[in-house]
Amino acid sequence: MSSLEEPLGLGDLPKLSINRLGRFLSPTARRSPADDHSTGKYSNSCNGSPFHGNSYPWHPQCRQADSSCDAVELRDLPRKVMWELPRFVKIVEVGPRDGLQNEKGNVPTSVKIQLIHKLVGAGLSVVEATSFVSPKWVPQLADAKEVLKGIQQEPGVRYPVLTPNLRGFEAAIAAGAKEIAVFASASESFSKSNINCTIEESLVRYRDVTEAAKKHGLTIRGYVSCVIGCPVEGAIDPSKVAYVAKELYNMGCSEISLGDTTGVGTPGSVVAMLQAVMAFVPLDKIAVHFHDTYGQALANILVSLQMGINVVDSSVSGLGGCPYAKGATGNVATEDVVYMLHGLGIKTNVDLNKLMEAGDYISKELGRPLGSKTATALRKLTT
């Protein structure tokens, strides 16, 4: 496991920083020799002092080479607020698909491939590669076939691709896809305006796709959009979300990602929605996909973790604005999520530094500023 905590580099030391870290490190904080980081196994054993929450990526002199010694055993904290926090959270990186799909600029195929490689290199084990939809609707991903064929698929890493119908599915298979994703809405109006059919019709369509996928032995990921609010209808009934999630699950999806498409959710509405879905879909098959349009994503993720969810979708550098509120932000930034998870002592296998590099890379290519506050802060610390 690689939890960030490598310093930014000797050349990056800000003038104010003085290494007094030693004073505050618990002398008992040691790396457990049983840890095996490279294969992604994780352990939470470190008898650091209780306060020694996590390593401190923001403290540039933080030379925590043995970065395993980070997790304060939060479960030991006599605090009810840390109930049921997962020990490990899988991050599903949607930048190359959901992110780029909603960016104004278009990047060449080679850049997309490079981005995916960098993301995988940072430790992400699921990276949504592209989408096999008509280029008429999503011109930014018209090169889906080339991207999928062009990436060097690492063993143990998943590269799901969106396939809205059988035709997209065939194209995906032909390009070598091993995992596909399907998208249904919890809101009728959104379904009509987004994919031009009712929820029921879309589910029928997806049943064909999933049948075909199962025949080919592919994994299927299901998405539910508008799980809290719809840009047309307003608030969405959680039971509706539960229904769609259940349908997707019954169809054979190995994971259901619940998306707050307009970003309007707050912990209260999120909890209600999750409770509804959790009544029908096993906890470990549920992922959360929050948008940060109203700045609520991290709080929503936190409360989802407290409910036991352990899969979180996010987008490097917050790629992907919100199409319903011009100029507003969309996807939550992976760097910010990773920063919070590591601070909670939750393992992710993600190297924050390498992740920030990937974010930097794509932001430069797109000519847009970094969409992650963590990345911005850590970068600016060095000026």
Partner 1 sequence: MLAASTKVGSRLASPHASSSAAAAAAAALASSPVLGSGMLSGAGFGETGSHHAADAPPPLPCSSSGDSREYYYLWTRLVNQSQSTLHRGKVTAALGHHVFGAGGSSRNQHIYRYFSSSSHQGRIWAGSKVLRDLPEYVKIVEVGPRDGLQNEKDIVPTPLKVELIRRLATSGLPVVEATSFVSPKWVPQLADAKDVMEAVQTIEGVRLPVLTPNLKGFEAAIAAGAKEIAIFASASEGFSKSNINCTIKESIARYNDVALAAKEKEIPIRGYVSCVVGCPVDGPVPPSNVAYVAKELYDMGCYEVSLGDTIGVGTPGTVVPMLEAAMSVVPVEKLAVHFHDTYGQSLSNILISLQMGVSVVDSSVASLGGCPYAKGASGNVATEDVVYMLNGLGIKTGVDLGKVMAAGEFICKHLERQSGSKAATALSKVTATASKL
How far apart are the C-alpha atoms of 166 and 182, rounded to whole Å?
Answer: 11
Kindly write out the interface string for residues 266-305 of this chain, putting x where it contacts partner 1 by CB under 8 A and - elsewhere: xxxx-xx--xx-xxx-----------xxxxx-xx-xxx--
How far apart are the C-alpha atoms of 312 and 148, rounded to whole Å?
Answer: 23
215 scored as a contact of partner 1 (CB under 8 A): no
- Specify the residue, 166 or 328, whose C-beta has the smaller distance to partner 1: 328
Q: Which whole-number Å values give the CA distances from 377 to 57, 157, 380, in the listed order?
A: 11, 30, 5
Kindly write out the interface string for residues 106-135 of this chain, putting x where it contacts partner 1 by CB under 8 A and - elsewhere: ------------------------------
- State the burial class of residue 96 (Cβ atoms within 10 Å of its Cβ: 0-12, 13-18, 19+): buried
166 scored as a contact of partner 1 (CB under 8 A): no
- Specify the residue, 59 or 289, whose C-beta has the smaller distance to partner 1: 59
How far apart are the C-alpha atoms of 242 and 191, rounded to whole Å?
Answer: 16
- Specify the residue, 96 or 238, whose C-beta has the smaller distance to partner 1: 238
- Specify the residue, 77 or 174, whose C-beta has the smaller distance to partner 1: 77
In degrees and rounded to multiples of 5, residue 229 shows phi and psi of -145, 155
Q: Is residue 191 within 8 Å of residue 184, measured between CB atoms?
A: yes
Cβ contacts of residue 233 below 8 Å, gap of 6+? 187, 188, 189, 190, 226
Among positions 23-62, residues that touch partner 1 (CB under 8 A) are 23-24, 50-54, 56, 58-59, 61-62
Residue 371 beta carbon to partner 1: minimum distance, rounded to whole angstroms? 10
Kindly write out the interface string for residues 299-338 of this chain, putting x where it contacts partner 1 by CB under 8 A and - elsewhere: x-xxx--xx--------------x-xxxxxx---x--x--
198 scored as a contact of partner 1 (CB under 8 A): yes
- Specify the residue, 212 or 271, whose C-beta has the smaller distance to partner 1: 271
Instruction: State the DSSP string of 314-328.
Output: EBGGG----TTSTT-
13 scored as a contact of partner 1 (CB under 8 A): no
Among positions 67-106, residues that touch partner 1 (CB under 8 A) are 72, 74, 77-83
Instruction: State the DSSP string of 19-52.
Output: --HHHHS-TT----TT--TTTT---------TT-
Active site residues: 322
